[in-house]
A and B are shown apart, each in its own frame.
Chain A
């Protein structure tokens, strides 16, 4: 049985974990192809006009998967960290999507207060069908599972998890895959590379580098084969050997699905790399340092992605312990994104007159030419400032 995993929204954080979970549950996970014109158009048609582009794209991916898969995974990630939320739209996602997929069952990965699911279940004609509710023992198990934050059983829907009633194994697999994946991201891999490594591409210099080395990059690739830096985001190249110094270091902040979906953002990352820039994103920074950078905020930010963006922007500007900062900061957000409207304002205020800062809003009409011209102008600004600083 094929379970479709849409390559959209938080796939860029949790994709490998989902794949590992369903793989270990004895199902066949199928990831949708990278976003393309057809997928986007389908999503635009099906979704409400005013909703943000990433959700429209997600719906497009679901519609695409529906053609080939027996079920589609729609996560409801209410919150992935304590006292924080993702986005209201993510909470309503399964309800928004399942009315558009009348034929295909929707598997809901429900988590709150952490990434691992409290329940994985399937609504069937509006009624929650959950195996664990049928027996007293099952009910007790669910209560325990919810209390401890770890679900005990994956729900059985017409044999979705046949032969694998206990979800312990899949959960362990998911946890492991997630740890490996985030470790790779932290080391500077971009999601597509990290996912490739998780899929079994050898994690050797040859493996990844050949595959993803951007053409015409003036930047030396570190030995581990990642495009970023080997263990941390320490810009070794800036100090250790000036010969290999990338011309500019650009920090990007924003939601992962805006940064990494190269169709949605018209290939900003690739463009910057071709221009010889070294890229840093929030995912490459250690969680603890982001938390440290945000100390002293009048009120804790309760959107996980917004918190990461603001913390990362602070770290980029004022790097801790003598690490090199960035030459410019780009904030990539979706048009009409709710939290980003406020977070963007905060970042803008903090960056004011400190470092070059560019705000990019993406929508379905974003054109490559216009965006790339703006980026070029921005790079001129960032580069000029950097040189002045050298003297």
Chain B
């Protein structure tokens, strides 16, 4: 059984399925080959997430996966129709697998039940086991997000960046292997302690940049050329509101967390009066939030031909002017190169530094 990759989502998802008694084949990390496979077999104008998830499936099936678990949707973003088209493509390529689609109830309810039955069917007699598996996976997701936030915050304040990165990688490894719910906190505390020791307290105010945009492109660092890491290495603190747990809360557990949607609506309504699918509205809302909370700059990451983000991108110049907030839109596709992205980020950070010096000089006078 396999699933599409999106950042660190493989750790909690793998935990969940393993605990439920399935054999999991996580897709290998994104490499040049992943790009090549995706571009070769996907339609030309499909967005990068489509191509990359398709390549994920191919690589995982080659490694022995027999079923693919993925989410669906009811539009208008293309994501909801990925699975059907990808299945056709893979079928024509001669790959044989079972598609387990988790569509939101209402669209394809029968399909949802079939998939859930497959996933949980073995354990229906032991609801305790399902509950434990879900709780462990969720706890892992929460700690991963928390650790990621901490890492992003401390990386610019650390002198030995290499050591910090190794600490973080170690944490990820331990986290993936850990099976005891109560030890997760200890693992996290160890990381926090180690990172704290590395950080220099005397660092002055560092630049803060907020990342907004399409969730897959933000979270999957193999696709966005490790943008967050690059910024951190340059001494910039990266904040973002998009994360695994946020996505689950805002989309799967909508009823339990109405605040997310409300916040997005309230912040974005003067600029974008309707929802546009995907994360278009969140992008606007979070940019407004960045503007009012004196973040130094905003980086929008979007895949080429992404419809919701294009709408947001058309409106961002206005926000930029209103809040005096520099915005960089990174449109990425398979032709983007790491060097190009790095250069643009460097130039952007230079611009932010200069702007802040100017602002501070003005405030001093």
**Residue in contact with B310 in the complex, picked from A50, A85, A128, A349, CB distance below 8 Å:** A50
Is A222 engaged at the interface, CB distance under 8 Å to the other chain? no
Given contacts A96-B315, A99-B318, contact A88 B45 (CB under 8 A): no
A88–B43 touching, CB < 8 Å: no
**1/0 per residue A337-350: CB within 8 Å of B?**
11111101110010
Chain A residues positioned under 8 Å from B107 (CB to CB): 299-300
- Indicate if B225 sits at the interface (CB-CB under 8 A): no
Q: B276: CB under 8 A from chain A? A: yes
Interface membership of A273, Cβ < 8 A: no
B36-83 at interface with A (beta carbon < 8 Å): 43-47, 50, 72, 74-78, 80-82
> Residues of A contacting B272 with CB < 8 Å?
92, 95
Q: Which B residue's beta carbon lies closest to that of A108?
A: B273
B45–A336 CB distance below 8 A = yes
Report if A342-B304 is in contact (Cβ < 8 Å); known contacts: A50-B313, A87-B76, A95-B273: no
B270 interface residue per 8 A CB criterion: yes
A-side contacts of B146, CB under 8 Å:
none
B274's nearest neighbour on chain A, judged by CB, is: A91
Residues of A within 8 A of B276 (CB): 88-89, 91-92
Question: B38 CB to closest chain A CB, in angstroms?
Answer: 13
Count of chain A residues with a beta carbon within 8 Å of a chain B beta carbon: 43
Cross-chain contact B305 with A299 (CB below 8 angstroms) = no
Write out the residue numbers on chain B whose beta carbons fall within 8 Å of the beta carbon of A346.
85, 88
Q: Does B306 contact A (CB under 8 A)?
A: yes
User: B270–A126 contact, CB under 8 A?
Assistant: yes
B 92-111 contacts with A by CB, 8 A? 92, 103, 107-108, 111
Contacting residue for B307 out of A88, A94, A128, A349, CB 8 A: A88
A218 smallest CB distance to B (angstroms): 36
B237 to chain A, nearest CB (A): 28
**Who on chain B is nearest to A84 by CB?**
B75
Report Cα–Cα, A127/B318, bound state, in Å: 16
Instruction: Point out the residues of chain A lying under 8 angstroms from B307, CB to CB.
Output: 87-89, 338
What separation, in Å, do the CA atoms of A301 and B73 have in the docked complex? 11
- Measured between alpha carbons, how far is A78 from B271 in the docked complex, in Å? 17
Q: Digit string of B286-324 for contact with A (CB within 8 Å is 1, else 0)? A: 000000000000000000111110111111011000000
B277: Cβ under 8 A from any A Cβ: yes
Of chain A, the residue at the smallest CB distance from B316 is A48
The DSSP consensus for interface residues of chain A is: mixed
Asked if residues B75 and A96 are in contact (CB atoms below 8 Å), the reply is no
Does A13 have its Cβ within 8 Å of any Cβ on chain B?
no
Residue of A nearest to B318 (CB): A99
Instruction: Please determine whether B74 and A342 come into contact, CB atoms closer than 8 angstroms.
Output: no
Residue of B72, B75, B275 touching A303 (CB-CB under 8 A): B75
Q: Are B46 and A349 in contact (CB under 8 A)?
A: no
- In the assembly, what is the distance between CA of A174 and CA of B50, in Å? 40
Nearest B residue to A302 by beta-carbon distance? B75
A123 at the interface (CB under 8 A from B): yes
B194: interface (CB < 8 Å): no
The interface bits of chain A over 80-102 (1 if a CB of B lies within 8 angstroms of the residue's CB, else 0) are: 00011111110110111001000
Asked whether any CB of chain B lies closer than 8 Å to the CB of A47, the reply is yes
Q: A91-B274, A340-B45, A341-B305 are in contact. Are A99 and B76 (CB under 8 A)?
A: no
Complex alpha-carbon distance, A341 and B271, angstroms = 29
Partner of A341 from B44, B77, B87, B313 at Cβ < 8 Å: B44
Q: Is B232 an interface residue (CB 8 A)?
A: no
Chain B residues whose C-beta falls within 8 Å of the C-beta of A91 in the assembled complex: 76, 274-277, 311
Q: Is the CB of A92 within 8 A of B311?
A: yes
Nearest B residue to A345, CB-CB:
B43
The reply on B89 being an interface residue by CB < 8 A is yes
Among B92, B273, B308, the residue within 8 A (CB) of A88 is B308
Residues of A within 8 A of B (CB): 47-48, 50-51, 76, 78, 83-89, 91-92, 94-96, 99, 110, 123, 126-128, 298-303, 335-342, 344-346, 349, 361
- Can you give 7 contacting A-B residue pairs, CB < 8 Å? A50-B304, A96-B311, A128-B273, A302-B81, A335-B45, A338-B307, A345-B46
Listed from nearest, the 5 A-B pairs whose CB atoms lie closest are A92-B311, A85-B76, A302-B75, A341-B45, A88-B307
Not counting A50-B313, A341-B47, a sample of 10 additional A-B residue pairs whose C-beta atoms are within 8 angstroms of each other reads A48-B313, A86-B76, A95-B272, A126-B271, A299-B84, A302-B80, A336-B304, A339-B78, A341-B43, A349-B92
